[in-house]
Amino acid sequence: MSDNDQRLGRLARTRARLQECALDLFERQGYDQTTAAQIAGAAGVTEMTFFRHFATKDRLVVEDPYDPLIADAVAAQPRGLPPLTRAVGGLRAAWARLPEPASDDVRRRVRIAAATPSLRAAIAANNAATEQILVEQLVGDGADPDAASVAAAAVLAGITAALLRWSQRDGAALADAVSAALDTLEARR
Amino acid sequence: MSDNDQRLGRLARTRARLQECALDLFERQGYDQTTAAQIAGAAGVTEMTFFRHFATKDRLVVEDPYDPLIADAVAAQPRGLPPLTRAVGGLRAAWARLPEPASDDVRRRVRIAAATPSLRAAIAANNAATEQILVEQLVGDGADPDAASVAAAAVLAGITAALLRWSQRDGAALADAVSAALDTLEARR
DNA sequence: GAACAAATGTTAGTGGCTAACATTTAGTGG
DNA sequence: CCACTAAATGTTAGCCACTAACATTTGTTC
């Protein structure tokens, strides 16, 4: 057991073990071909325990990002602009303020997602929460609800698409991919 | 048996019966609370037969739209514009050329989808095919693949969001909702 | 080391979905 | 009208994601 594991506590440790085993299996034999029981077995644990740590199988790959940060950044955007422009501006600001994430781990997950059509649905469902927050922020600042809803959905879907393509390249910077996507959303490319 | 049913053939008839029973049940007790066996029973048929007509439960609500039409319309857009602009323009043209669909039936389905988070995922998965076609068209006409991918995803997600909101209103015209969404995607509102 | 709570295990189920094989039903040619 | 065929449906059995109720272990604290 590594030092790192030692100071994690039993709960966090099994969770980490499950996640690691799962990603390994997904990469080796595919997400759909890997059963929950198999993951649990590889982690030396019961299927039941697996589901206590991850409510659904797809949560092993898709995780929630930085909702509050995004809301703040959008709030800081100047008013009076069209919702799409404000959403894009907010996302740009939010991203700049973000700690550069462990890019390799992110890419690993996104790669699995990109290779697994059935997971795109999970990503979309996951985006719904962020979308909700974005919409509320835009509407709270005076945008038309319909327009806000469209803008929020479009921006998140656009960024997601960019992430999926980014994961297939080697060595490219995540920040550049996101930045380019935001440009596209402003019809600047 | 109505005249309409008579000239449908057994296959199409059970299919229609299944769909009708399903929508009824979904509206009365919710999508998630309705089981495939229940639908089959209501239609006087076996669960097995149900799945022979609809590969998945969500296909009862989410259906494929007009992919080839969209591709053509995008192809007809002037070149040299940013991908988002071209995609929006293409969609606008495609929509204008569309036979105004049976709005009530569409609204019925979309309403169920809007009320059922677990169905948003199915919608997203369904959009993937259209997205693919859009991307190919844009790239084939010289767009950067990354930008094309972002633009296609954004436009489809935006329209989907607009549809979901439209379904919640009474009497509003579908065409207006779509048109407004496309304006938003061009940051014109 | 007894007591308590957190973490895991067991068992039994539901619901979506599939495969393999049997049966019915609706047309068709004789 | 009947035999024949193919399409449409039925039966049975099972996989997998996921859940509920209850039992057991494991670590911690006093």
All structural domains of chain A, each given as residue ranges with its CATH number in brackets, are 3-60 (1.10.10.60), 67-185 (1.10.357.10)
Kindly indicate the confidence band of residue A1, based on its pLDDT and cuts at 50, 70 and 90: very low
Most A CBs within 10 Å: which of B56, B146, B176, as the mutation test of the A interface?
B146
Least CB-CB distance to A189: which of B131, B144, B185? B144
Position B24 scores a pLDDT of 98
Position B18 scores a pLDDT of 98
CA distance A6 to chain B (A): 38
Distance B46 CA to D15 C1' (A): 20
Q: Inter-chain contact A184–B155, Cβ cutoff 8 Å? A: no
Q: Residue B70 is encoded by which pair of tokens?
A: 């969209």
Distance B51 CA to C24 C1' (A): 19
CB atoms under 10 Å from CB of B12, counted, come to: 12
Least CB-CB distance to A84: which of B118, B150, B187? B187
Q: What is the pLDDT of residues B74-89, one digit of tens each?
A: 999 999 999 999 999 9
Q: Are B185 and A85 in contact (CB under 8 A)?
A: no
**Distance between CA atoms of residues B26 and B32, nearest Å:** 8
Kindly indicate the confidence band of residue A14, based on its pLDDT and cuts at 50, 70 and 90: very high
DSSP secondary structure letter of residue B5: H
**Alpha-carbon dihedral of residues B143, B144, B145, B150, nearest 10 degrees?**
-90
**Alpha-carbon dihedral of residues B148, B150, B153, B158, nearest 10 degrees?**
-110
Position A6 scores a pLDDT of 54
Most B CBs within 10 Å: which of A110, A144, A146, A165, as the mutation test of the B interface?
A146
Sequence-distant (6+) residues with CB within 8 A of B7 are none
**Distance between CA atoms of residues B188 and A150, nearest Å:** 12
| B142 part of contact set with chain A, CB < 8 Å | no
Sequence-distant (6+) residues with CB within 8 A of A92 are A179, A182
Q: What is the pLDDT of residues B91-138, one digit of tens each?
A: 999 988 877 777 788 899 999 999 999 999 999 999 999 999 999 999
Per DSSP, the residues of B125-168 read HHHHHHHHHHHHHHHHTT--HHHHHHHHHHHHHHHHHHHHHHHH
| A32 part of contact set with chain B, CB < 8 Å | no
| A80 part of contact set with chain B, CB < 8 Å | no
Q: Inter-chain contact A149–B165, Cβ cutoff 8 Å? A: yes
Distance A52 CA to D16 C1' (A): 17
Q: What is the pLDDT of residues B130-170, one digit of tens each?
A: 999 999 999 999 999 999 999 999 999 999 999 999 999 99
Q: Is pLDDT at A110 greater than 70 in this prediction?
A: yes
> Token match 């969500």: residue?
B58
Q: Is pLDDT at A62 greater than 60 in this prediction?
A: yes
Kindly indicate the confidence band of residue A187, based on its pLDDT and cuts at 50, 70 and 90: very high
Position B6 scores a pLDDT of 53
Q: Inter-chain contact B146–A165, Cβ cutoff 8 Å? A: yes
Q: CA dist B31 to B58, B108, B109, Å?
A: 9, 13, 11
> Token match 């039936």: residue?
B105
Position B103 scores a pLDDT of 78
Radius of gyration over every alpha carbon of chain B, rounded to an integer in angstroms: 19
Is B171 or A46 the better-scoring residue by pLDDT?
A46
**Distance between CA atoms of residues A164 and A70, nearest Å:** 20
Nearest CA to B111 out of B45, B29, B169 is that of B169
Position B67 scores a pLDDT of 82
CB atoms under 10 Å from CB of B162, counted, come to: 26
Q: Residue B177 is encoded by which pair of tokens?
A: 């909702």
Q: Is pLDDT at A125 greater than 50 in this prediction?
A: yes
Range B125-141 burial, b when 16+ CB lie within 10 A, else e: bbbeebbeebbebbbeb
